[in-house]
Structure 1
Amino acid sequence: MMGLRSATCQSAADLTQQVRAAEIAFAQTMADRDFDSFVSHIAHDAVFVSGEGALRGVAAIGTGWNRFFDGDIAPFSWKPDLVEVLDSGTLALSSGPVLAPEGQRIGTFNSIWRRGDDGWKVVFDKGCPPCDCE
C-alpha cells in the first residue's frame, strides 16, 4: 500500500471527482460496447447483486454481463448523480439513474468503489427499480 496516497494528501473534492470520473468511464464502456474495458473497472473479488442472485468475482461478473454487450446499441446506460467518499479515501459510493436507450429511467444503480494502487475499482454493485417517491 506504499503507492496509495493517503486521503490527507488529497482533498475530499479531488477524491469525489476521481470516483465520478471512474464511474463515468465505467458507464462509457457500455456505450462503446467495450467489454474488456468494462471488466477492467471491476475488482477481482467484486460482488454484483441482482434479482437473479449474486455474481462473485470478476470472472462470474464478466460471464453474467457479457450478454449486455451483444449488439450495436447498449440496452441501458447509467450516470452518477451522487458520489460520497470515506474520509479515509479508501471506499466510495456512487449512485444514479439507469436509463433505457430511449432515455426513460428504468432503475437506479448503487456501486461501492475501492481505491488501490491501480486506482478505483468496483467492489459491490446493485441495481434496483426506480422509486415512485419523486
Structure 2
Amino acid sequence: MTHIHYLLAPAAALLGACAQLPPVDNAELTRQVTATETAFAATMARRDFAAFQTFLSEEAIFDGGREPLRGKAAVAAAWKRYFEGEKAPFSWEPDRVVVLSSGTLAQSGGPVRDPQGKLTARFNSIWRQEAPGQWRIVFDKGEPVCDCGARAAP
C-alpha cells in the first residue's frame, strides 16, 4: 500500500493545484478585447492589410455575404479589396464588449460607418483567447441598420 501512496500523492497535488487556479480578472480581459478590437479596426484606417490578417484565427468565419467565408485565407482574400485605395471604405469601433467568466471567449459589437461618418451597419464579433493576452477573431457578422424613423406611417 505504501507504494501506491507514493504514486497517488503527485496526482493529488496536481489536482489540488488545478482546483486553485487564480480567478479571472474580467475587467482586465474586457480591456484587452476592447484594445484588440480597436487595433483591429485601426488596420483599416492605416490601410495595413498585413496587420489585419494577424487578428484572424485560422478557423475564422465571417458571415455577411451570400455564403460565409470560412478560414483565415478565405477571409483575407475577400477583404483584401477593402484595403485597396487611399481611403478606407468604412470604419468600425467597439461600443460593447463582454467576456465569458472563463476568460476564453468574448463578444464585441459596435457601429460601422461610411467614410462620411454615417452609421450604415453594426458588427458583432466573437474573439477567442488563443494564448495569454492574445485574442483572435473567430466569428464576425455585420448587419445593416434600419433607418426606421425614415419610414412613412401606414
Structure 2: stretches of 5+ with no match in the other structure: 1-20, 150-154
Shift of 1:132: 4.1
Flag as ranges the 4+ runs of structure 1 deviating above 4 A. Answer: none
Task: Give 1:58's aligned amino acid.
Answer: K
Pairing partner for 1:122 from 137, 145, 154? 137
Q: Choose between structure 1 and 2: higher strand proportion.
A: 1
How far apart, in 1, do the equivalents of 2:25 and 2:103 lie?
A: 9
2:58 to 37, 40, 44: 44
2:146 and 2:139 mapped to 1: Cα distance? 21
CA distance in 1: counterparts of 2:126 and 2:70, whole angstroms: 14
Whose relative contact order is higher, 1 or 2, with alpha carbons under 8 Å and at least 6 apart? 1
Q: Which of 51, 76, 79 is the equivalent residue of 1:65?
A: 79
1:102-121 counterparts in 2 under 5 A? 102-117=116-131, 119-121=134-136
Report the AA paired with residue 143 of structure 2: C
1:53 is paired with a residue whose SS is: coil
CA deviation after TM superposition for structure 1 residue 50, in Å: 1.0
Helix, strand or coil for the counterpart of 1:51? Answer: coil
RMSD: 1.5
Q: Which amino acid aligns with 2:142?
A: G
Report the Cα offset of residue 53 of structure 1: 1.4
2: CA distance, partners of 1:94 / 1:20? 8
Q: TM-score normalized by structure 2?
A: 0.79
Alignment of 1:100 with 2:114, yes or no, is: yes
Residues 30-60 of structure 1, C-alpha deviation per residue, up to 9 Å, x if partnerless? Answer: 0000001001000000100013211100000
Percent same amino acid among aligned pairs?
Answer: 52
Task: Give distance in 2, aligned partners of 1:72 and 1:31.
Answer: 9
- Give CA-to-partner distance per residue, 1:97-121, whole Å, 9 cap, x none: 0000100000000000000116000
SS at match of 1:19: helix
Q: Distance in 2 between matches of 1:117 and 1:95?
A: 22
- State which structure, 1 or 2, has the greater radius of gyration over its C-alpha atoms: 2
Match of 2:46 in 1: 32
With the length of structure 1 as denominator, give the TM-score of the two structures: 0.91
